Amino acid sequence: MANLKEIRNRIASVSSTMQITSAMKMVSAAKLKKAQDAITAMRPYANKLTELLQSLSATMDADTGSKYASQREVKNILVVAITSNRGLCGAFNSNIIKQANRLAESYSDKNVSFVAIGKKANDALSKKLNVISNHSEVFDDLTFDNVAVIAEMLMEKFVTGEFDKIEIVYNKFKNAATQDIMVEQFLPIVPSEGEADANTDYIFEPSKVEIVEQLIPKSLKTQLYKGIRDSFASEHGARMTAMHKATDNATELRDQLKLTYNKARQASITNEILEIVGGAEALNN
């Protein structure tokens, strides 16, 4: 009977876990819908703004003050790693952390530092690598204005020469089950490829300098905001998928335990019957 009691306790434990994972799946599904709508609506604007920025940077010369596009010898690199603050989302966070470590290894001859956006990135990377700041609080109120503060800090570090190159590593949302790891160059700005774009005759109003001063910072802030939004939607998609699989596994394990319990209970009852029959025959003899 002790064995039956142990199996009953395991069935109760697995059933409780299954209820939790099922609830988490539904919560993530609700949050995913909102996050997915936000990034889907934002992408066309962000992509067009980036395209315009790249085309504009291809026409800039030294006199227009292209401080965000200045190419210099790369000695100091800053990598912005975007993860989540919480776990239970499969390989979502570990993929970014692995990619960040690979980048650090590939830049072994450079001075590489990290900015963590997300508690999981900060906890993992700060153990081995140089994490200069952590901005996990941005997910508490994910707005453009809050992300703009981080983008301004990154731009300042590039303009002052503290870093010669800045890259962003994040999960790009594809669908609820798939996220693509992206490594994008944030600064310096990469001009668009092709002679057609570089030789386009633009008319600037009021002036090229003012356009550059206003458009580039806004485009960079939008690029970072899109990356964080992509990561935010990917997090909920990954967590929903992970909790769905966990619920399925818990259901399968519960069914197996119930089958084991029924077999053990049947065997126990059979043994009791055999003992009763054997006792009755002994009395008769």
Instruction: Determine the pLDDT at residue 63.
Output: 45
Token pair 């949050």: residue: 31
| pLDDT-based confidence at residue 196 (cuts at 50, 70, 90) | very low
Looking at residue 192, the DSSP 8-state letter turns out to be P
pLDDT at res. 198: 47
Domain made up of 21-241: CATH architecture: 3-Layer(aba) Sandwich (3.40)
Q: Sorting pLDDT into bands at 50, 70 and 90, what band is 202?
A: low
> What local confidence, expressed as pLDDT, does residue 216 receive?
84
Averaged over 16-21, what is the pLDDT? 93
Per-residue pLDDT averaged across 220-240, rounded? 95
Average per-residue pLDDT for the chain: 87
Domain boundaries, the chain: 2-17+243-275, 21-241
pLDDT at 152: 95
What pTM was computed for the model?
0.84
**Model confidence pLDDT, tens digit, residues 179-189:** 999 999 999 88
Q: At what angle do helices 92-106 and 208-284 cross, to 10 degrees?
A: 130
CATH code linked to domain 2-17+243-275: 1.10.287
At residue 192, the pLDDT reads 62
Q: Strand, helix or coil at 191? A: coil
Whether pLDDT at 147 is above 70: yes
* Listed residue (247, 263, 238, 278) closest to 88, CA to CA: 238
Quote the CA–CA distance of 99 and 96 in Å, as a whole number: 5
Which residues, including other chains, have CB under 8 Å from residue 91's CB and lie 6 or more apart? 238
Rounded (5°) CA angle 137-138-143: 150
Note the pLDDT tens digit of each residue in 71-109: 889 999 999 999 999 999 999 999 999 999 999 999 989
Q: Residues 236, 35: contact at Cβ < 8 Å?
A: yes
**In the predicted model, what is the mean pLDDT of residues 10-30?**
93
DSSP 215-242: HHHHHHHHHHHHHHHHHHHHHHHHHHHH
Q: What is the CB-side half-sphere exposure of residue 107 using CA atoms within 13 A?
A: 21
Mean pLDDT computed over 196-221: 71
User: What is the pLDDT at residue 201?
Assistant: 63
